[in-house]
Amino acid sequence: KAGVTQTPRYLIKTRGQQVTLSCSPISGHRSVSWYQQTPGQGLQFLFEYFSETQRNKGNFPGRFSGRQFSNSRSEMNVSTLELGDSALYLCASSSLNTEAFFGQGTRLTVV
């Protein structure tokens, strides 16, 4: 059974640009959550989607947004990138009776 797949693995962007990250959950998992991980702040919850609807949202500015498609694949978008957005972005998928399984993450560097 394939795990959670995140693409791309690495990304370099310039300040002011926008970026879209992709997450393909484990087959059958309908919940996808996104997290930001930085050395200074650790892991922080961004948002969670279930059946194409955002169910929960963390304390991040509106520049961070996401969506989920009918096949449960999810994307997150960050607009007007800032240097502080440099981080490892992780997504995790789960179903009703399972723990959350994380992908390998996308390492975003903003220069």
The footprint of another protein (CB under 8 A) covers 4, 41-45, 48, 55-56, 58, 90, 92, 99-105
Of 37 and 79, nearer to another protein (C-beta) is 37
Cα four-point dihedral sign 70, 58, 55, 92: positive
| d(C-alpha 101, C-alpha 111), whole Å | 30
The two structure tokens encoding residue 48: 């969670």
The distance of closest approach from Cβ of residue 16 to another protein in the complex, given in angstroms and rounded to an integer, is 28
Of 60 and 80, nearer to another protein (C-beta) is 60
Is the Cβ–Cβ distance between 95 and 7 less than 8 Å? Answer: no
Of 12 and 17, nearer to another protein (C-beta) is 12
